[in-house]
Structure 1
Amino acid sequence: MKLFIYLFGPFTMIFIGLYIFSNVPLTFLLFYGWLLTGSIFLRKYLPKGSPRLSVISGVFSGVVLFAGIVGAVTMLHPVVLDAEDIRLLLDRWKFSGIGLVLVLLVINPILEEVYWRGVMHGYLLTRFKERIVVVLTAGFYTIYHLLSVLPFFEWPMNMVSVIPVFLAGLFWSYLRKKTGSLIAPILSHAMADAGILTVYWLYIV
């Protein structure tokens, strides 16, 4: 039961914030509050290593992800993005302010990586083989992102849009394993989020 709660908790917080209250700041409070609390309770499962390779790997992969996100959307945005509908939805969700942007650039990559590639990865390793753990953490990480993108895209693009999220989860688990640290996945994740925000500034605002 405890495992089920830890896996589905983030999904539940996103659902309550976005689909019941339609409020992004509240969603952030619920979601990051869950990640922080869960990470504190499971902190003994954090990886201990912190090699120098982590920074190099994180920055290099992050640059690649940033360029890939911005480049792909630059080519495809006339087909897949309806800027006006997205603006209206974000207004309804009360998504505004530099504070929310900073949350996505700083708090989000740290807490998501500490939770999924950190404590949940370590916790699940006490129950499953590593390959299963990698798929589980990437899968549940992806599930709640689906809640976020469903309103932005028509079928089947809303499903296609979360495939890169799942692949990123797999890749950040790989970085964790190879470097023995969360520094690399956090840096890489932060630059991927910067790519998403760049798309927001270029094509939505």
Structure 2
Amino acid sequence: MKIVIIDYGAGNIQSIKFALERLGYTGVLSSDAEEIRKADKVIFPGVGEASSAMTKLRSTGLDALIPQLEQPVLGICLGMQLMCASSEEGNTTGLGIFDTAVVHFEKDLKVPHIGWNRITDLKTELFEGISEGEYVYLVHSYYAPVCSETIAKCDYGVEYSSALKKGNFYGVQFHPEKSSEAGERILENFLKLEM
């Protein structure tokens, strides 16, 4: 199986590569459109700021490529947020894969939201073998509200989408590569998806 991790300079790349290796897989880091198209699975990581990340995607044409991909794609953290229609962070237009806008946590909440939190209302095969209320690791100041594409929720002063799905596109707000055994199981479930 060929797994490509999209390289656009906004990454938690090494921790994802190590997590794949622990599962017995190898991930290739690439920004080459043809290599990404030919992958069996694509991981779209992200750590950083939305507007500068989108600028990088536009400069390489990846903003046009990603929404056209037909194999399973997993957006992680900022990667998931960039797959949404827009983000309040830097007043950014996203890739428009998920039909929701990313917003900032209310001012009375401590941000970023860092640490372990429970995920609930788990839907789809991405969460096969994962218990309701399982803990995952998060670091973020912005969130996607609950919407029709929500497949898992989290609560931090407000209930929000900790995972989204539309067609072959999946997004998780948490970091599966840093979420212990549960995170590794979620990554493995993604890698086993059939489309």
**After TM superposition, is the score higher than 0.5?**
no
Over alpha carbons, which structure has the higher Rg? 1
Give the TM-score band, short-chain normalised.
Answer: under 0.3
What's the TM-score, normalizing by structure 2? 0.28
Task: Between the two structures, name the one with larger relative contact order (CA 8 Å, sep ≥ 6).
Answer: 1
What's the TM-score, normalizing by structure 1? 0.27
